[in-house]
Amino acid sequence: MAKRYFFGLMLAIAPAVFALPEDRDQPIEITADSAVINEKQSQAEYTGAVVVTQGTLKLEGDVVNLKTNEDGEVETFVAKG
């Protein structure tokens, strides 16, 4: 199980290594079958064929959770599946 987790983590991190510097300035686009957004807790959960893109970066998963900071900027994405 630990090997799978490590391998999955490496696959998730790998695209960031090849990101273009200007990707940070691009808007984040999310498509999913459904979403639950909790503004009070500054988090959201997207489910069903989720695709997150920002510039040349692309993240896919069955479930993607995100957390924003107090300014509404995305701090973290966690993809599963």
- The DSSP-derived string for 17-63 is HT--GGGGGSPEEEE-SEEEEETTTTEEEEEEEEEEEETTEEEEEEE
Chain segment 3-45, per-residue pLDDT in tens:
555 555 555 555 555 566 777 788 889 999 999 999 999 999 9
Letter for the amino acid at 81? Answer: G
Q: Report pLDDT for 77.
A: 87
Per-residue confidence band for 74, with pLDDT thresholds at 50, 70 and 90? confident
What tokens does 29 get? 């686009």
Number of domains in the chain: 1
Q: Are 54 and 23 in contact (CB under 8 A)?
A: yes
- Could you tell me the residue range of the domain that residue 12 belongs to? 2-80
Q: Which helix (H) or strand (E) holds 78?
A: strand 74-80
Say what the pLDDT of residue 2 is: 54
Instruction: Tell me the CATH number at 60.
Output: 2.60.450.10
Supply the pTM of this predicted model. 0.71
